[in-house]
Amino acid sequence: MNRENNNNRTTDNNRFNAEYNNRTENYDEFQRQYEEQLRRYAQLDRSSPEEYRDGGDLQFEQYDLNRQNQNGRRTPASDSSYRQPTAPNRNGSRQGTGQRRPAQGTNRRTASTSGSRPDSGQRQPAQSSNRPASSGQRSRNFSPQRIKNDEPLRFGERNYNTKNKSYKPSSDNNGGYSKAQTGKQKKKADKNKMNDEKRRSPVKRFFICLIIIILVLLILLQLLIFRYLGMVNYVETGERSVTNASMSSDDVLNVLIIGSDTRDADTRGRTDSMILMSVNKATKQTTMTSFMRDMYVEIPGNGWNKMNAAYVYGGAELLMDTIELNFDIEVDKYVYIDFFSFIDIVDAAGGIELDISDAEAEGMKDPMDEQNKYLGNEKGTDYLTSGGEGITVNGNQALAYARLRYVGNADFERTERQRIVISKILEKATTLNPLELDTFAKTCLSNLTTNMTKSELYFLTYRAPFILGYETQQLRIPMDDAYSYGTTDNGQSILNVNFDLCRQTLDETIYGY
């Protein structure tokens, strides 16, 4: 009778499982529990249950079906009731771990014959049955032991009192993600941590701040340069007739500095100062060459005359043509400065120091009287009572020193004084503080007139710190052995020049050939 009840129960369970799972094969209670465990694993790991179907290392809990049938609920089996789940074989039975569980058929049979239900708290160990299972029925062996804690568990719940630790709930560290997802999260966290450490690195922050400061300074420097370049008086180069000089090189920049004695801005006067500033970046030398104004030269389209008359006839362009024609040296750029501009530039530099003799101090009074008249100063303003070494002079005094011609060797020494004054101005500019240098730059550039373009001046500005470090040399044309005194038909004193010797000297001194 018990066998018939078991057969009926098995049939009912198989029918119920088939209806529940919509499948045709017969599933026993353990198979259904196995499927339920797979679903719970998948929920915890957020993956598909199919990933665990091939896992041979999964273990699950067995439940005492007799206890379920008797009390209407499942209770977890004892520690020895855990086994390795496997798929059913061809005969419908399951291949386990190789160990058979004690059969519980005796308890079921005893309970049925006695007509009473065994006490749930005093269950006796069941006697194993030696009867083999029929071919159409699976053999079910149930553990007679019970765990100490008799609290019921819901279907699929984990009993943490068991010794089986193969299943471990998801730890708090992974946040419910799979191992692959946890690894990605960990790598991302490590990367963020590394980035935070880099951002907090004092050395890196120092260099970042340094780069930012440099960039800000560069931007400010660019603004200042464009501001200064906007103050220059730009003029276009007029018509040129002589531009085929043989002395020319890409390494040499020749800029003619023209100082005029013009008293009126609207009139074109004679040139008192003609200095060719040559910068050779190959030899790293700067050469200041003074052309004496009394040289008797050929002026293109105007015959022979003194050299300082070329500016009166045709301005800066004719003066450059005259130099190229007579001395065969390329001159394309010029800077023009008048009396008042020179005075303002020296005053903006804070004055310059000069070695002045007593004779020179006395001879400066005559040109200074003329300058005070045009400046509106009282007679006797800025007179020097005596000479000395390292005397600081202002713009008015420096101009009188540069114009002085009746002390010493007349015009020869005057050109030398002019070169000395220009050298002292450049030296003084290198010693100015930023505020003084700003005032000097604004004053100097606003008083210059040039045919150089803004882009040419822009690049020249960046070269200026290097040019100031070049070796400076001075030259006078004509040299001592390259001229002779003469007079014109109308009785004017002139200098007859040996042009071939002057050309050779210019080539060797400026170009280094």
Q: Which residue has the higher pLDDT, 323 or 189?
A: 323
Pair 360, 474 in one domain: yes
Percentage of the chain with pLDDT > 70? 65
Domain membership of residue 194 (yes or no) is no
CATH no. for residue 482?
3.40.630.190
At residue 31, does pLDDT exceed 50?
yes
Show the domain range for 214: 203-230
* pLDDT single digits (tens) 58-100: 444 444 444 444 444 444 444 444 444 444 444 444 444 444 4
* pLDDT score for 345: 93
Domain boundary among 169, 188, 221: 169
| Pair 108, 23 in one domain | yes
Name the β-bridge partners of 254. 278
Same domain for 59 and 137, yes or no, is: yes
| pLDDT attached to residue 326 | 96
128 has a pLDDT exceeding 60: no
Residue-by-residue DSSP string for 359-399:
HHHHHTHHHHHHHHHHHTPPTTTT--SS-EEEEEE-HHHHH
Report the pLDDT value the prediction gives residue 300, as an integer from 0 to 100.
Answer: 94
Domain final residue, candidates 190, 215, 230: 230
Chain centre distance of CA 291: 50
Number of domains in the chain: 3
pLDDT at 17: 54
Same domain, residue pair 251 and 215: no
Kindly state whether residue 189 falls inside one of the protein's structural domains.
no
**Residue 193 within any structural domain of the chain:** no
Residue 321 lies in a domain: yes
Confidence of residue 28 (pLDDT cuts 50, 70, 90): low
Higher confidence at residue 164 or residue 457?
457
Q: Give the pLDDT score at 253.
A: 94
HSE-up (13 A, CA, CB side) for residue 85: 22
What pLDDT was estimated at residue 263?
64
Provide the pLDDT for residue 18.
55
**Residue 44 lies inside a defined structural domain of this protein:** yes
Is 475 a domain residue? Answer: yes
Higher model confidence: residue 432 or residue 260? 432
Are 365 and 506 in a shared domain? yes
DSSP string for residues in 251-269: TEEEEEEEEE--SSTTS--
For residue 435, what are its two tokens? 């505020």
Based on the domain organization, do 158 and 209 belong to the same domain?
no
Percentages (nearest 5) of helix, strand, coil residues in the chain = 45, 15, 40
Could you report the per-residue pLDDT of 392-410, keeping only the tens digit for each? 999 999 999 998 888 878 7
59 in Cβ contact with 167 (< 8 Å) = yes
In a domain, 183, yes or no: no
- Min mean pLDDT across 132-141, 178-187, 228-237, 325-334 is at 132-141
Q: What is the pLDDT of residues 471-500, one digit of tens each?
A: 999 999 999 999 999 998 888 899 999 999
- What Å distances lie between residue 26 and 31, 39, 55, 91, 134, CA to CA? 9, 19, 22, 11, 16
Residue 4: per-residue pLDDT:
54
Query: Domain ends where: 151, 169, 187?
Result: 169
- Top pLDDT among 207 and 106 is at 207
pLDDT at 205 over 50: yes
Would the pLDDT of 113 be above 90? Answer: no
Q: Taking a C-beta distance cutoff of 8 angstroms, is the pair 508, 252 a contact?
A: no
Higher pLDDT, 51 or 392: 392
Name the average pLDDT for the chain: 76
Same domain, 18 and 146: yes
H/E element holding 429? helix 410-429
Which pLDDT value is given to residue 233?
93
Burial of 66 by CB count in 10 Å (0-12 exposed, 13-18 middle, 19+ buried)?
buried
Q: What is the pLDDT of residue 352?
A: 95
What integer pLDDT is reported at residue 85 of this predicted model? 47
Mean pLDDT, to the nearest integer, of 186-214?
Answer: 77
pLDDT the model gives residue 34: 78
Q: What is the pLDDT of residue 335?
A: 95
End-to-end CA distance of the chain: 131
- Residue 146, pLDDT > 50, answer no
Q: What is the pLDDT of residues 314-328, one digit of tens each?
A: 999 999 999 999 999
423 and 468 housed in the same domain: yes
Q: Are residues 218 and 295 in the same domain?
A: no
Q: How far apart are CA 183 and CA 188, in angstroms?
A: 9
Residue range 40-47: average pLDDT? 68
pLDDT at site 62: 47
* pLDDT tops 90 at residue 213: yes
Reading the block at residue 416, the tokens are 């030398």
Q: What is the pLDDT at residue 478?
A: 94
439 and 303 in a common domain: yes
Q: Assess whether pLDDT exceeds 70 at residue 374.
A: yes
| Residues 295 and 360 occupy one common structural domain | yes
Q: Once rounded to an integer, what is the mean pLDDT over residues 167-185?
A: 56
* Domain assignment present for 146: yes
Q: Residue 301, by phi and psi: left (phi above 0), alpha (psi -120 to 50) or beta?
A: left
**Do residues 327 and 469 share a domain?**
yes
